[in-house]
Amino acid sequence: MLKTHFAEKRSTNLNPTVSLMQKTILSTADVARLFNVTETTVKRWANDGTLKCMKTPGGHRKFEMKNVVDFAETLNFEPSGTLSLTGEDALAQKIQIAVLSRDFSFLKEAFLEKALSPDKQDMFVFFGFLYQHKIPLSEIYEMILKPGMTEIGNRWERGVLTVDQEHRASYETLDALAQLQTQIHIQPPTGLSMLAACPGDEPHELGLRCVSYLFESEGWRTDYIGARTPFASVLNATRELRPRVVCLSRTLLLQEEEHQPMHRLINDLTEIGVDLFLGGPAFCAASNQYRDGAHMYCSSAELLARMKAIEKTTRLTSGS
């Protein structure tokens, strides 16, 4: 029952979570996602009066959460589109509401709390809940993980977090993402492959891991050689493995002595004929220096769009 899923307490107290839920307004798409039905079905429920709704001046149907609760209980309708978080999760109710309304600002804050929590499994449960409720990997990475990790970095720079806290948050996030990857739906193999590396003296690999997982989820074979990979090793691996795409990620700005080998690496990879993707804050900040011969990706959407373009070109070329 929906009341069970949201652990609603019908009382006169001013519990802030209950108050928030009662005031939450859901769209037709939200309700459809909740019950795992089409929007047409939700509109029919509204039109025949089974599910109370109100309409905006523009004619859009909106549903109060309390009316959705009543609807589910009256018909004994199980909300199959929503799974409960554990009762021990203090943020469970608010996370469920935020998932329905796609409140990424709150979900980022929830991620921050879990990233800094000593409970390692809590992070994986959180990511799994998001994915199960049809938030795609690209949005988890872009709308929640990316701004969340940026905030953790900012807190470390301001001295709010210690080095050990920042490191623990990063590595526990990596562990949770690895667990999540075992649960996701992998698309049929494309026959294409990619190589992922953080070239030079770059220690931050979380963003690159996300890139690798995105390619893998889309049916690409991935070869991940990780952080602090020497420039020559990236080139050697490319020659040996012959990927269609090479993804390089840099968070730290290049040191003076790294500029020349980086440009040489990019030129060599371009001559080999791979599609070269450059991402991460350092590359995006200096995009004009590296644009020739490379595709810049500063968001998951840009990365996916380019990935799909390559897949389409490959199908057309092969005639499949």
- Which pLDDT tens digit goes with each residue over 198-214? 999 999 999 999 999 99
Residue 141 is given by DSSP the state I
Question: How far is residue 143 from each of residues 111, 136, 147, 213, measured CA to CA in Å?
Answer: 11, 10, 7, 16
Domain 2-74 is of which CATH architecture?
Orthogonal Bundle (1.10)
- Which pLDDT tens digit goes with each residue over 49-90? 999 999 999 899 998 877 887 788 788 776 555 545 665 677
Are 2-74 and 193-318 the same fold in CATH? no
Question: How far is residue 34 from each of residues 37, 50, 72, 94, measured CA to CA in Å?
Answer: 8, 16, 11, 15
Q: Is the pLDDT of residue 35 over 60?
A: yes
β-strand partners of 279: 249, 297
Domain 193-318 is of which CATH architecture?
3-Layer(aba) Sandwich (3.40)
- Which pLDDT tens digit goes with each residue over 229-242? 999 999 999 999 99
Joined tokens for residue 126: 């959180």
pLDDT at site 249: 97
Nearest to 63 by CA among 21, 4, 93: 21
Q: How many residues in total does the chain contain? A: 320
pTM of the entire predicted model: 0.78
Domain ranges of the chain: 2-74, 102-181, 193-318
Q: What is the CATH number of domain 102-181?
A: 1.10.1240.10
| Average pLDDT, rounded, for the chain | 86
